[in-house]
Amino acid sequence: MKRKLFVLLLIVAVVSASAFARGAAEAAPRVETQVILGSSTQVNADFFDGWTNSATNAYLKELMTGYETVVWTKEGRYIVNPISVPSYTAVDNADGSKTYTFALANNLTYNDGTKITAKDYVFAILYAASPEALEIGAQYGVGPEYVGYEKFHSGESAEFAGIRLLGDLSFSITIKAEELPYFFDLSLVSVAPYPLHVIAPGVDVVDAGKGAYLTDTFTADLLRQTVLTAGTGYRYKPLVTSGAYQFENYNPADSTASVVLNPRYLGDYDGAKGSIHRLIIKLTNTATQMDELKTGAIDMLQGISGGDQISRGLDLYDQKLVNYSSYPRYGYGKIAFACDFGPTQFDAVRRAIAYSLDRNEFARQYTGGYGIIVNGYYGASMWEYSQNKARLDKDLNAYPYNLQKAEEELVNDGWTLNKDGKPFQKGVDAIRHKMVDGTLMPLVIEWANTANNPVSDLISTMLVPEVRKIGMQINGTTVDFSVLLDNLYKENIEKPVYGMFNLGTGFNTTQAYWYYYSTDPEYFGTYNTNFIADKQLEAITLDMKKTDPQDLTGWVEKWIQFQKRWNHLLPDIPLYSDMYHDFYNPRIVGYESSSTWDFRYAIVRASIK
């Protein structure tokens, strides 16, 4: 009897605890205007520039940042922000440098009510470029284009000559002559205010005529205290911010972070202030993320790729449980070639490989039908492509699967010998050879790939057997991704071996074509990972760089010339460009996303039905 009573009590206790716990969670008031974004990228504890590049943290940082001098628009351009900068001047100086002078609006405040002045903008530049920031472990790319950066950054000079504090509401930035002309020069002067009174209390920004500087109280120790203190430092808890949203909470227990509307925010460049009260980013995993969306545990998933996941999302759409938007990726998966040694140094070989692969079928198989192919160094969502799609589709070679053409490329390039130096006979000889600098070079390409990679599997089955038919051999080696990168960048490598790699690439909004295709060896590996040294291609890119920022037509013409040359040289073979899908709760309206206008922008313009 006692035992039965004990079991009964145990059951009652377990059921009660479960019900109570569940009740506790249900009792949590779910604010109507709240959106939970599910992401497979974990939110970490960093909410300040300088430490993390996690995409989810970047969303939150951007949402908390406002009143930049220059902003990115939905149309894919940089413009001066009319909300924070009612007027500005851009003056070309006699020495070739260019000075942007900004007059700030008088009514800007942080979320704590503190007025934003020019000192906050100047402080943001001085802080990020300072040796003290480097000393505390922050990584910034701010300032190298400005006059006086080297001396300030090294600590040789207290003043930053190219940065001037001109008054409470005015400051200027001077860009170095060697950086100009530069088509994206506006992007170089995009600055957001950092709260001086929070990050460097007691420090002042002063300008005695030789450039702005920070007073002596600005030290690494001070920054360690204000920025790095665990739990309360600005890096972890930026309570004073200028953007549409303000920091609310970060829960390290499950890597969830939330921001809430900043009631003092005056708006983005188009007046958008945000209307959804709270935004939360929650970690999800691929296996169950659609279930979380279905059950309402999350409200949104963005950037979903892959046939399986997209099909599951579209099933929910058919059941009217979600809405969705889709857009092409701002990048592509590719075969990348080393263009400086071995057979892949010859563009005809690269083209022959392209002709040997049925890219349409490849993209269909890899993306499950949710992908496209591109024929140049661009993403299908770039405005240059979308405005000139018909012309580019006509002018660029799509390299349709054609082994005859592949063979022609090889023959015309001199791959006509066998291993003995005699004429190559199809059906008799296996591998073509070419006389290069008096030595026979076999048409054998070493290909580095990574394990558990479906792209590698598809290349093995769809390309490797095909090139054998034209007298080429591709030897695949599976390596760790870091080894692949070592070989791609040719870092820590005594003698390069691999001429072919498969990996993905993404574009920046200010893609520095002139660095990526520079023939200056300094850029090899860091930017120019193909090690391609084509003077014509480089000349086009340098010409692009010099385009007047207002001359969009001129830019587009040069951009198309670049694409044509690139398409001929083919340093990469673009394999697929995924169609990304954003799935979201139907109560969210006005959410218009694209690959260059993602969650951080689109959600500020969305609302809850």
Partner 1 sequence: MLKYVFKRLAYIVIVFLIASVLLFALYKSVPGDPARMMLEGNKASMKPAEYEARYQDAVRKLGLDKPVFVQYFTWLFNTLRLDFGYSLTYKMPVKEMIGEPMKNTIMLNVWSLIPVFAITLPLGIASAVRRGTRFDRSVQIITIIGYSLPFFVIALLFIFLLAVKIPIFPISGVQTPALRGTPLRMFLDKLYHMALPLIVMVFTSLGGLTRYVRATMIEALRMDYIRTARAKGLSEKVVIYSHAFRNALIPFITIMTGWFISIFSGSVVIERTFLWNGMGKVIIDALNQQDFAVSLAMVMFYLVLSLIGNLVMDLSYGLADPRVRLE
Residue from 60, 126, 280, 354 binding partner 1 (CB under 8 A): 280
- Choose the stretch contacting partner 1; rule: CB under 8 A; options: 30-38, 194-202, 342-350, 583-591: 30-38
Evaluate whether 568 touches 397 at the Cβ level (below 8 Å): yes
Evaluate whether 211 touches 148 at the Cβ level (below 8 Å): yes
- Supply the minimum distance, in Å, between the C-beta of residue 579 and partner 1: 24
Chain-centre distance of CA 139, in angstroms? 17
| DSSP label of 330 | S
Per-residue interface string for the shown chain with partner 1, residues 565-594, x marking contact by CB under 8 A = ------------------------------
Assigned token pair, 308: 């399986």
| C-alpha span between 243 and 66 (Å, rounded) | 4
Residue type, 167: G
Residue type, 53: N
Angle between helical axes of 403-412 and 347-355 (0-180°, round to 10)? 170
Residue from 508, 551, 590, 592 binding partner 1 (CB under 8 A): 508
Q: Which is nearer to partner 1, 382 or 410 (CB)?
A: 382
3 state SS for 510-559: CCCHHHHCCCCHHHECCCECCCCCCHHHHHHHHHHHCCCCCCHHHHHHHH
H-assigned helices in 338-496: 347-355, 359-367, 383-387, 389-395, 403-412, 454-462, 464-468, 481-489
| DSSP label of 317 | H
Residue from 1, 208, 230, 428 binding partner 1 (CB under 8 A): 230
Beta bridge partners of 417: 423, 433
Residue from 308, 492, 536, 551 binding partner 1 (CB under 8 A): 492
Residue from 81, 258, 449, 593 binding partner 1 (CB under 8 A): 258
Verify binding: residue 493, partner 1, rule CB under 8 A.
Answer: no
Residue from 161, 170, 226, 248 binding partner 1 (CB under 8 A): 248
- Supply the minimum distance, in Å, between the C-beta of residue 258 and partner 1: 5
| C-alpha span between 209 and 215 (Å, rounded) | 15
Verify binding: residue 21, partner 1, rule CB under 8 A.
Answer: yes
Residue from 77, 151, 278, 568 binding partner 1 (CB under 8 A): 278
| C-alpha span between 499 and 345 (Å, rounded) | 8
Verify binding: residue 215, partner 1, rule CB under 8 A.
Answer: no
Q: How many positions of this chain bind partner 1 (CB under 8 A)?
A: 61
Residue from 491, 548, 551, 592 binding partner 1 (CB under 8 A): 491
Verify binding: residue 308, partner 1, rule CB under 8 A.
Answer: no
- Supply the minimum distance, in Å, between the C-beta of residue 436 and partner 1: 30
Q: Which is nearer to partner 1, 170 or 255 (CB)?
A: 255
Helices H / strands E in the chain, number of each: 22, 24
Verify binding: residue 483, partner 1, rule CB under 8 A.
Answer: yes
Q: Which is nearer to partner 1, 180 or 479 (CB)?
A: 479
- Supply the minimum distance, in Å, between the C-beta of residue 137 and partner 1: 7
3-state DSSP helix/strand/coil % of the chain, to nearest 5: 35, 20, 45
Verify binding: residue 79, partner 1, rule CB under 8 A.
Answer: no
- Supply the minimum distance, in Å, between the C-beta of residue 524 and partner 1: 9
Residue from 32, 480, 551, 592 binding partner 1 (CB under 8 A): 480
For 298, list phi and psi in degrees, rounded to 5: -130, 165
Site for partner 1 in 139-168 (CB under 8 A): 139, 141, 144
Q: Which is nearer to partner 1, 44 or 157 (CB)?
A: 44
Per-residue interface string for the shown chain with partner 1, residues 281-300, x marking contact by CB under 8 A = -xxxx-xx--xx-xx-x---
Verify binding: residue 486, partner 1, rule CB under 8 A.
Answer: yes
Evaluate whether 300 touches 582 at the Cβ level (below 8 Å): yes
| C-alpha span between 456 and 436 (Å, rounded) | 30
Question: Which residues make Cβ contacts (< 8 Å) with residue 553, sequence separation at least 6?
Answer: none
Residue from 1, 5, 253, 451 binding partner 1 (CB under 8 A): 253
Verify binding: residue 523, partner 1, rule CB under 8 A.
Answer: yes
| Total number of residues shown for the chain | 609
| C-alpha span between 481 and 516 (Å, rounded) | 21
Q: Which is nearer to partner 1, 131 or 271 (CB)?
A: 131
Per-residue interface string for the shown chain with partner 1, residues 330-349, x marking contact by CB under 8 A = --------------------
Angle between helical axes of 552-569 and 347-355 (0-180°, round to 10)? 80
Question: Which residues make Cβ contacts (< 8 Å) with residue 295, sequence separation at least 6?
Answer: none
Residue from 41, 45, 273, 408 binding partner 1 (CB under 8 A): 45
Residue from 485, 497, 533, 542 binding partner 1 (CB under 8 A): 485
Q: Which is nearer to partner 1, 479 or 552 (CB)?
A: 479
503 burial level (CB within 10 Å; 0-12, 13-18, 19+):
buried
- Choose the stretch contacting partner 1; rule: CB under 8 A; options: 28-36, 67-75, 164-172, 211-219: 28-36
| C-alpha span between 302 and 602 (Å, rounded) | 11
Beta bridge partners of 579: 328
Kindly state the helix (H) or strand (E) to which residue 18 belongs, with its residue range: helix 2-27
- Choose the stretch contacting partner 1; rule: CB under 8 A; options: 40-48, 88-96, 413-421, 458-466: 40-48
Contacting residues toward partner 1, per CB under 8 A: 17-18, 20-22, 24-25, 27-28, 31, 34, 36, 42, 44-46, 51-53, 134, 137, 139, 141, 144, 230, 248-249, 251-256, 258, 278, 280, 282-285, 287-288, 291-292, 294-295, 297, 479-480, 482-483, 485-486, 491-492, 508, 515, 522-523, 526-527
